[in-house]
Structures are given as structure tokens and as C-alpha cells.
Structure 1
Amino acid sequence: MSTISITERLRQKRSASKQNITTFYDEATEDYEFWSKDFNMHFGYYIPFKTSLFKRDTMLNEMNHQVFDRLQAPKRNSLVVDLGCGIGGTMRYGLRKHPLLRIIGITLSPFQVREGNKRLTNMNGLILEENYHNTSFKNNSVDAAYAIESLCHSGHNYLALKEAHRILKPGARLVIADAFLKKEEAQLCVGSNYCYEQLCQGWSLQGLGSIQQVQNRLKELGFSKITINNVSHRVAPSVLHVPFAIIGFMLKKLFKKQSLKPQSIKNLKGSLFALLSGLHFKSFGYYIITAEK
């Protein structure tokens, strides 16, 4: 069987519907609390002597810092939108560092809206149950927007990038931190493709856009001053925490005599294949993209 045939057969099994994504985040929040006490639902950014290899949240919060530093939003009364905010971990970081900002997060999960807004009490933040393909923001109304490991749920598709362009003010920035393909799906070897499909199934991803494809989409939409930084080497130390986090989470459940939920098993599977995908460095990379409207 050819690589392309295998790719097509596996792709048919992939499922990243709105319902699957919502269920994933409704049920996986406990898993992410084990990953990050600050509820950072993403990987980290390692800087020697600034972050700790052994304290995961120092790296995860440094990723938050890297994103906000690139946004360059005016610090007073600016409106920043988190496109796929999770339970608001990055929002809380941004509001603690820049209390004069206003940050609105978007998520499909009612559970995350409810629990996330509890954690934003007395802060200039709010989480809305909306789809980042079609938000309620007016044209040219947002001072900055970011997406940390969220646009992958829709394959970094054109609609998500188009909506970001629509809501941003002229001169405002979009920052995306995420994993991307370095080549097109059809060019992946059998091993890379297998890891990729298991990753997508475990984390309810539609897929990863290729970095060149996403750059072209941004240009077509009218974004300028596009910078693409491959930060895979900075992210790798936090990815290496995955097997230890998985073992720790399972031991915790075993100690409490609790069974693993089906979604937790899928999440753990996705986390494992995120690590294995990272070993295929010719096929996958982690990038921070900055683009200006």
C-alpha cells in the first residue's frame, strides 16, 4: 500500500467536529490542571537561567510572555482577544502582567466558560462561548489577538485567519504559537504520518497546517510584516515532560482508586504522540508567527 493510500485511509478516521472539540475540553480540564497549576493548556518556552527545566510552569508562563511581548498592544484600555482561550490560563497571566488591558477569550466549551470566568473574577477579562471562525466582534475593533495551540483544532484554516484579520484594527498584530507541518501531509513518511494521525485523534485536531501554507494564507488575507520563528528547540524541554506527566497522572488515579475517563485516555494518547511527533523534526516544528494587519 502506498504512503498516499495509507494517508487517505487514516485521515478518514480523524474526527475534529465542534462536538468532539467541546467534549475534549469539557472533560480534559482535570488533566490540564495536573499539567499546569496555572491551567496553561500549552507547551512551554525554555530560556537558560530564566526558566527551570524542572518547574514546568516557569516554561509555560514564559510562552505566555513571549506571545504578549510580540503583541505590542498599547497597555491602557486595549482590547485583546484570545482565540481559543481554554480555561483562561494565558488570560490570567496577561492581566496580571498588564492589568490595564482588557482581554476577551473565545472557547466552544460551556464548562470552560463557566469555570474560566470564576477565575477571572475582579480582573478585566471575560470568556465567551463562541467559535473563532465567526465571532461577535465588530470589524476593526480589536487591538491585538493571539492563539496558542488552538487554531490547530481547525487545521489553521483560512476561515480562522480571515476572522482574525476582520476583527483586528489596522496596524494591530496577530500572534500564533503552535505546531505546524514542515511539509504537506501527502509528503509525510509512514512513521511521521502515523504519529500525526494518532496526535490528531487523541487531541481532536482537524490537522496541522504546513508552515508555508499558513504563511501564504496570511499574505492572501492582507497581513504584512509576517515573521516566522522556529522555536522548536525552546519548546522541546517542556515536551520532554510529557512521559513523566502521564506516569504521574496515572499513578495519582491509581492511588485514589479512580478509573481513567475515556477522554483522559485520548488526551494522554495525544500527549504521547505529541512527543513522538517532535522526534520527526524534519516533518514537524513549533513556530511563533507574528503578522500585522
Structure 2
Amino acid sequence: MPVCEQVKDDVKLLRSQEEMIKDHYRENLEDYLFWSPSGNMHFGYWHGGLGFFNRDQQIQEMNHQVLNACNLKEDNHLLDLGCGLGGLLRSAYERNENLKLHGISIVEEQIEKARKFGLPQIEYRLGNFSSLPYREESMHACTAMESSCYAQGESKKDLIAQAAKVLKPNGRLVIADFFIKADAKLGQNTVNLLKKWGDNWGIVEIGRLDKVQHALEENGFENIEVKNISKNLIPSLLQVPFLVVIHLALLILKGKCNKSRWEHMQSCLLCIPLAIQAHKFTYSIISASKVDHAAH
């Protein structure tokens, strides 16, 4: 479905969401590495005992929070849906070298860069998580780290259905992302802000908690847990404006500040006015287990 119009020489050119996502991540790969040289493309999780301004430590802790929710055991298979540069999978390998690790992304440049980080034990595939190229019931856990926002509609039903297909009975799905709260009513100013934020990153709709939970139930998941961790993101969110200013200045000095990178910086900054609307939005870790029909 076309989601963007570009006007060039009075001719409207339509770009699909997939093309927008590929272009964005291809053109802004260096910017994500400025945020996290270790190749993690997500916010950090802070708690007492971690450095308040130690972004890398918090990012690694976010990985641990998601991996803890997976309940992985020796030799289990883990699939990261929208794996980016493979940061979560490398964290999983550091915890347990016997895990069988898989990552999928639609962006070829991400896969190439992820492989350059090393660890040939991790299997990366180029593909779309709306049509997974894996055997049914072949995975013990699936994760979606700030990638579910690219899935279909407010329910993210395509990602959830595909995860259900490849997960074994009792397998775990863990999603960490930004969501609209179930009972939230968005005013026009917030809708406009959200649209601008999403358009720059190729996001059509972010998930709504109640619809995501309903899609999980419809696709055979149980023991659904929603953990609101919005407050744990505050330290890494506070670093965003300072890093944007520094990085933007460096890009201008290097003559590399094109339209795509400027839009990316805009959306980074827009995360803050959206995040402070805590009565409307939440950053949550959602975990659920695929029903074991043999036990019912």
C-alpha cells in the first residue's frame, strides 16, 4: 500500500512502505552507529545500579530484559524479527554460546553490517517478517525489538501470526516497543505529531495495546504479560537532544546532512514530546506463550 507521495517535476511518485524503510535504514546507517557503536538500534533500560548517563550499559540491559522474558534454555532457537544490526542476537550469544540464533531484516545493508560484527554462528536472512522463510514450529522464541511498529495496523497481526506459525508449542514471543494505550484518545495535534514522527521512519501505524493483546489471543497465545517500562527509558531519552545536536553539527561539517538524515534527526527529537504524554503512550515489553494444544 502506498504510504508516501513525492512530487518531482509535477509528477507524483508513490513509494511503498517497504521501499521507505529500506531507503531510511540504508541512508541513516551511520547515524544509528553514532547512537550505539555496538550496533543496537533501540533505547536503553535503566534501573538503580546502572550509570544514569551510561547509554551503552542501558542498551545492553534492555537486551537482557527482553532475553530474560524469552526463558531460553540450552540449544534453543531464537529468531529476532527485524534484527537490524544484530545487537540483540550478539547479546544472546554472550549469555549462552549454545543458543541457535537467527535474524531477519528486509534491509540488505543491515545484514551485511551485522555480519561484519563477526559471530558467524548467527544466521542472518534477508526477508520480511510478514512472510517468514522458516519451518513451522522451528523456534523456541521470537523477539521484536522496536520493529513491531512496522507490522500491519494497530494490532500488528501479521507479525504475530507469523511468529505463531514458526514458534513451537509453549514458545515465547517478546515484543519491546512504543504503543498507544488501550483507552487513549488522541487529539489532532498529537495525531499530526505522530504522523510526522512515523513518516520520517516509514512507520504507518504504531500498535495499540488492546488490539495487540487481542491479536495475540486470536493467534493462540496465552499468559500475556504487558510490562510498562516507560520510566526506565528516561535516561536514554534525555540524551537524545544532545546527541542529535552533536551529530547534526558533525554531519553539516562533513557535508553529509541530506534530507533523509535531517528527517531522521527530526523523528529522534519528536520521541520526547510523544514520550512525555504518559497518559496516551507507553513503552512496554509484551511477552506471551504459544498455546500447547496437547496440554489443553
On the 8 A contact 1:120/1:126 being kept in 2, the answer is: no
Match of 1:128 in 2: 125
Match of 1:173 in 2: 172
Partner deviation per Cα, 1:97-146 (whole Å, 9 max, x = no partner): 21111111010001111111121334x20211010011111111101110
Alpha carbons of structure 1 residues 146 and 109: separation in structure 2 relative to 1, 3 Å: same
Unaligned runs of 5+ in 1: 1-10
Pairwise CA RMSD of aligned residues?
Answer: 1.8
Structure 2: which amino acid aligns with 1:73?
A: L
Q: Which has the higher contact order (CA 8 A, sep 6+)?
A: 1
Asked whether the 8 Å contact 2:85–2:111 carries over to 1, the reply is: yes
Per-residue deviation at 1:12? 7.7
Q: Distance in 1 between matches of 2:116 and 2:284?
A: 31
Partner of 2:89: 91
- Report the residue type matching 1:21 in the other structure: I
Matches of 2:250 and 2:56, distance apart in 1? 19
Indicate the residue corresponding to 2:149 in structure 1. Answer: 152
Partner of 1:7: none
2:26 alignment partner AA:
D
TM-score, structure 2 as length reference = 0.89
3-state SS, counterpart of residue 241 of structure 1: helix
Matches for 1:100-119 after TM superposition, within 5 Å: 100-119=98-117
Structure 1 counterpart SS, 2:168: strand
**Structure 1: distance between partners of 2:216 and 2:38:** 31
By percentage of residues, which structure has more strand?
A: 2
SS at match of 1:73: coil
Pairing 1:206–2:204 present? yes
- Unaligned 5+ segments in structure 2 are 6-13, 291-296
| Length, aligned pairs only | 278
Following the alignment from structure 1 to structure 2, what is the Cα–Cα distance between the partners of residues 159 and 291? 16
- Tell me which stretches of 4 or more aligned residues in structure 1 moved more than 4 Å: 11-16
- Report the TM-score when normalising by structure 1: 0.90
Q: Counterparts of 2:4 and 2:90 in 1: how far apart (Å)?
A: 38
Cα 1:178–1:215, aligned 2, differ >3 Å: closer, same or farther?
A: same
CA distance in 2, matches of 1:282, 1:194: 17
CA deviations 1:118-175 (Å, max 9, x no partner) are 21334x2021101001111111110111000001012452111100011000011010
- Return the alpha-carbon distance in structure 1 between the equivalents of residues 15 and 289 of structure 2: 32
Contact 1:202 1:268 (C-alpha < 8 Å) held by counterparts: no
Structure 1 window deviating more from structure 2 (229-238 vs 62-71): it is: 229-238
Q: Does residue 139 of structure 2 align to residue 142 of structure 1?
A: yes
